Structure 1
Amino acid sequence: MSVTPYKVNVPEDKIGRLKQKLAAAELPDELEDAGWDLGCPLADIKRLVRYWRDEFDWRQAEAELNQMPQFMTTVQIDGFDPIELHFVHAKSPVPNAVPLLFCHGWPGSFDEASKLLPLLMGGGDDKPAFDVVVPSLPNFGFSTGPKKLGFSLPQMAMVLNKLMVDVLGYQEYVTQGGDLGYPITRYLGYLYPGHCKASHYNVTTPEPPSATHFPELYEEDQATPRTQAELDGLKRTEWFKKEGKGYMMEHTTKPQTIGYSLRDSPVGLLAWVYEKLHDWSDNYPYTDYEVCKWVSIYWFSKAGPAATMRIYYEFMHDKNPMAATINSTYLKDIKIGSSQFPKDLAVFPPLWNRTLGDLVLNKVHPSGGHFAAFERPRELAGDLEEMFGRNGGAYGVVSGRNGYA
């Protein structure tokens, strides 16, 4: 499996075509005083469209992306055509650095990890160093994707395990994931515990303990009063179920239909993604430049923005019994860690995480949202350093690589 260096370089005609479409955009009206209740406010979208068309410099964004060491390889799994897989491979100067696979989700990309790389690679006497691998998931970013049905979360995990083991030669590695990265890295720990030795998550969806499901934890949970943070977290989770899951219903049922709009209309794509950046963050002050860079990665992606939604349909229609339980299955063969941020989409009492596996880190942060690596990179990096550091519960899980020189 050959590996070739890669630089993002979008043809000029595609940039020009984007600006033409933005110039020709027709926007809807809105109700007075609607705010964010019905979705993205018209004033915000008008401002962003104008900025994206007239001021945003994609070449600057490309130069920033190309500061990360990027590569392309070809990975094939049984039953599917080869996939051209794009990935970042940021190697630490520390020879014993811990190989860490960072797995993004939707509507994220490989660029989410850009703030983490300098924090994790250096190491030192008091913290471990990491070799960080950040793939564009199949159908995302600058990776291609499958051309037929049946490519679900286990297949994502198979591709990423091949990348780490067969392409890069890391026979053992650890993972970090949120959003789709949570179930994908759960599958890595379930399917390949000999290779995936530990996983850290920045969102978890455990099954609550009950009289039949971890009864001892259930008794402890019932005997412990809820903290205000836990009550707020359950309220946040309920809000998402009632008010925030419309996109998921579309993705999991008819992604092709909404896909026409997102592929043809950059304004449609902008609104579809920007709503999530706003609603899923903890008042992170996104600049117009950051928003347009984020959305442009989707617009210029190899498979197109419509392709990124298909994984939702696939996992919702996956007939494998494990598909319904992977998020809450107890993983007995690997170490796991959790970092919880209060404005994520599923915020359950931290005690419930003990039903997920051998839990060695269970941190709760006072602020932060769904895109932890982008919003709170120092906190996330610090938790990884704690989990895999000398006093951490996952220290030394990768043979011969403890992260220290």
Structure 2
Amino acid sequence: MIEPFTIDVPQADLDDLADRLTRTRWSDELPDVGWDYGIPLARVKELAEYWTTGFDWRKHEARLNELPQYMTEIDGQRIHFVHVRSARDDALPLILTHGWPGSFLEFEQVIEPLSENFHLVIPSIPGFGFSGPTHEQGWGVPRVAQAWAELMSRLGYDRYGAHGGDFGSGISRALAAVAPGKVVGVHLTYLPGPPPPGVTFDLDEEDTRRLARIKGFIANRPAYQALQATRPQTISYALTDSPVGQLAWIAEKYTEWTDPESEISSDEILTNVSLYWLTGTAGSAARLTKETAGIAPPTCAAPIAVAVFPHDITLAIRPHVEHLFDVQQWTEFEHGGHFSALEVPELLAADITGFFAKLQSRASTAAAE
């Protein structure tokens, strides 16, 4: 059963948030260390002050409720999703999957341009936002992909595309593996990982730099990833009890992983942070990292497109990717980072549209022959 869903946060929850923010017990900070020890105190205080005195959740709640949202249950888990049908009856369905610390909110700015050519399905990953929390073990990338396949089938879509970044990249590739006859192509913005084993590649200077960056990332696992992959329950107590703790945990990434020229507003950051806080899903969202740790990267026989944004966490290496996947489109952008749908929505939407237009044109030509 699929039912319409409306966001309606109890006023008591908003009052509790405001009370907690006014009673924040602030950490000290070493002088002149900048970002070397983590997100600076001044930045967190700035965002917290705005969260307390200027940010209006009800305004954003009303705006989000203009989107057609739904709720269903798959594999015993509540699944929240946005479903926007294109004015074109023959539009290709496209499922968009977010990552951490994102949410369905990050795709808001690409809905209008993409819905010109696609029927859009934008779910919240189990454990995230209104799809959370999860209530049992096993909700890693493969199981989420199985849920997405069921969701698309339930919506009546038997041929569709997929897009994702961060965890959404792995889920989109896994979806192509579990629904090979249905996923016509996969568009990705993030392809982390070591080089394919047992193969030697002749890399140019830029790819050599990218490889060094990937190896450094693997050798020095970031603190957030280590904690969420090993002790998500432990970190969940702090994030679930302290709104400023949740704020700092997420807001840090909106600086570290983005293009310095990008303009992600305080309202955009705080709407996403508020979603995590008001749904109490810091811990269940973190569990996805542990549930997926150690699982082999998903295979994907479907044609793929890779969009590389220069300020992403790591940058994909084309020879490595082409060894593993059927790469039909590769785009190197001059601007943008990990949150491309927020940072450069027009570039991302155009790249997605162009890729699937090519696939459909080739399919039409092949059918005519």
CA distance in structure 2 between the aligned counterparts of 1:153 and 1:27, rounded to whole angstroms: 36
CA distance in structure 2 between the aligned counterparts of 1:57 and 1:24, rounded to whole angstroms: 19
Check whether the contact 1:198–1:397 (CA below 8 A) recurs between aligned residues.
Answer: no
Which of 379, 393, 404 is the equivalent residue of 2:347?
379
Quote the residue 1:30 is aligned against: 29
Deviates more, 1:237-246 or 1:308-317: 237-246
Q: Report the CA distance shift for 1:149/1:352 in structure 2 as closer, same or farther (over 3 A).
A: same
TM-score, normalization by structure 2: 0.93
Q: Report the CA distance shift for 1:232/1:361 in structure 2 as closer, same or farther (over 3 A).
A: same
Quote the residue 1:388 is aligned against: 356
Quote the residue 2:367 is aligned against: none
* Consecutive unaligned residues in structure 2, runs of 5 or more: 365-369
Quote the residue 1:156 is aligned against: 144
Quote the residue 1:8 is aligned against: 7
2:64 is the alignment partner of 1:56? no
Quote the residue 1:118 is aligned against: 112
More helix per residue: 2
Deviating 4+ runs (over 6 angstroms): none
Which of 90, 99, 106 is the equivalent residue of 2:93?
99
**1:145 Cα offset (Å):** 4.2
CA distance in structure 1 between the aligned counterparts of 2:305 and 2:288, rounded to whole angstroms: 25
Quote the residue 2:42 is aligned against: 43
Check whether the contact 1:197–1:397 (CA below 8 A) recurs between aligned residues.
Answer: no
Quote the residue 1:290 is aligned against: 268
- SS of equivalent to 1:384: helix
- SS of equivalent to 2:337: coil
CA distance in structure 1 between the aligned counterparts of 2:216 and 2:51, rounded to whole angstroms: 31
**1:132 Cα offset (Å):** 0.8
Alignment deviations for residues 106-140 of structure 1 (CA, whole Å, 9 cap, x no partner) = 10000111011111112xxxxxx001100011111
Amino acid at match of 1:350: R
- SS of equivalent to 1:116: helix
Amino acid at match of 2:56: D
Amino acid at match of 1:67: E
The sequence identity of aligned pairs, in percent, is 35
CA distance in structure 2 between the aligned counterparts of 1:231 and 1:393, rounded to whole angstroms: 31
TM-score, normalization by structure 1: 0.85
Amino acid at match of 1:250: L
**1:240 Cα offset (Å):** 4.1
**1:242 Cα offset (Å):** 6.1
* Consecutive unaligned residues in structure 1, runs of 5 or more: 77-81, 123-128, 318-322, 399-405
CA RMSD of aligned residues (A): 1.9
**1:354 Cα offset (Å):** 0.6
CA distance in structure 1 between the aligned counterparts of 2:115 and 2:234, rounded to whole angstroms: 42
Which of 226, 238, 243 is the equivalent residue of 2:205?
226
- SS of equivalent to 1:142: helix
**1:396 Cα offset (Å):** 6.2
2:281 is the alignment partner of 1:304? yes
CA distance in structure 1 between the aligned counterparts of 2:101 and 2:118, rounded to whole angstroms: 25
**1:90 Cα offset (Å):** 0.7
Which of 357, 363, 369 is the equivalent residue of 2:337?
369
Report 1 or 2 for greater relative contact order, CA contacts < 8 Å, sequence distance ≥ 6: 1
**1:395 Cα offset (Å):** 3.9
